[in-house]
Amino acid sequence: MRRFENKTVVITGASRGIGAAIAKRFAREGANLVVSANEDAVHAIAEQIRTDGGKAISFVGDVTDRASVKALFDAAENAFDAVDVSIQNAGVITISRIEDMTEGEWDKVMAVNTKGVFLCAQEAIARIRKHGRGGRIINTASGQARDGFIYTPHYAASKMGVVGITQSLAKEVATDGITVNAFCPGIIETDMWAYNDEVWGKLLGNYAPGELMKEWVRGIPMKRAGSGEDVAGLVTFLASEDAAYITGQTINVDGGLIMS
C-alpha cells in the first residue's frame, strides 16, 4: 500500500528503535519523510530511505528548544511544502532510587518527554492549520502512562503528561480536521529496553544481562517482546484515512501486557 503518497511526515527520535522503524514503514507507503533526532545517526536513516527509493531529509535538533523545533518544521516545509503528520517520538529515561534521583534527571526527562511533545505538537498544528486540509498528531506515551513502575517516577509522570496533552489538544483541534492520538509501547526490542534490562536488573536483584528481560517477557500474554514494526503498524493506521474518526485516544501496543 502507498497510503501516504504526497504526504509529509515529521518524526522526532527517529535515529534508532521505534522512531526509525516508523520512518521506514511510512517510506514504504510513499510518504515524504523528515526524520529528526539529537544525534548524527539520524542522517543514516534518511540515507537508507533514499537508497531504498524513498524521499527523506534528516535534521539534528533539540525538541526541548523552541528555536530548534521551529527550524525542524521550516526544513520540512522547505523540502516538501507542507506538513501532514507529526509524530512526537523523542524520549529519554533514567532509572534510580528516589533518594538518588537528581533534580537534573527529573528536569531532563520531563523536558524531552513532555515539553518536547508540547513544543513539536504546537508547531505542527500551526503548520497543518495553515494549509487547511487537516492532518495527524501522534504522540509516543508508554506503558508507564498506565502503570508507573518502580524507580522511574519522573518517566511515569512525563508519559502520563503526554496522555493529558493528547486529550486536551484533540478537543481543541477536532474541528480543524486534525486528529490527536497517542500510543503506549510495551516491552519493545530497542536500545532503551536493553538499558532498562541492565539498570533495573541491578536494582531489582542483580540479574545477569538479559535475565530480567526474559522474566518480563514471560508475563506478556503473547510471550514475546515487541518489535519496532509492531509499533509502526499501529502508527501508520492512526495516520491514515481509516482512522479519521479516532481522536483523543491512547492505544497500547504491548502484546496484552496492560489491558486497560
**In this structure, what CATH number is given to the domain that contains residue 178?**
3.40.50.720
Per-residue H/E/C for 20-69: HHHHHHHHHCCCEEEEEECCCCHHHHHHHHHHCCCEEEEEECCCCCHHHH
pLDDT of residue 50 exceeding 90, the answer is: yes
The structure's pTM equals 0.97
What is the tally of structural domains in the chain? 1
Residue 204 falls inside a structural domain: no
DSSP state letter for 174: G
- Answer whether residue 258 is part of any domain: no
d(CA 161, CA 110): 9
Res 260 pLDDT > 90: no
Domain annotation covers residue 150: yes
Cβ atoms of 254 and 186 closer than 8 Å: yes
* Sign of CA pseudo-dihedral 18, 20, 23, 25: negative
| CB contact burial 174-211 (16+ within 10 A = b; e otherwise) | eeeebbbbbbbbbbbbbebbeebbbbbbeeeeebeeee
Residue 206 is assigned to a structural domain of this protein? no
Domain extent, residue 13, equals: 8-187+227-253
Asked whether residue 260 is domain-assigned, the answer is no
Give me the pLDDT at residue 206, please.
84
The answer as to whether 207 is a domain residue is no
Give pLDDT, residue 32: 98
Asked if residue 28 is part of any domain, the answer here is yes
Task: Report, as residue numbers or ranges, the catalytic residues.
Answer: 155
DSSP run (H or E) holding 178: strand 178-185
Query: Is 209 part of a structural domain of the chain?
Result: no
Q: What is the pLDDT of residue 113?
A: 98
Q: What is the pLDDT of residues 166-223, one digit of tens each?
A: 999 999 999 999 999 999 999 999 999 999 999 999 999 989 999 999 999 999 999 9
User: Mind listing the pLDDT tens digit for each residue in 75-111?
Assistant: 999 999 999 999 999 999 999 999 999 999 999 999 9
Helix (H) or strand (E) holding 79: helix 66-80
CA separation for the pair 140, 71 (Å, rounded):
21
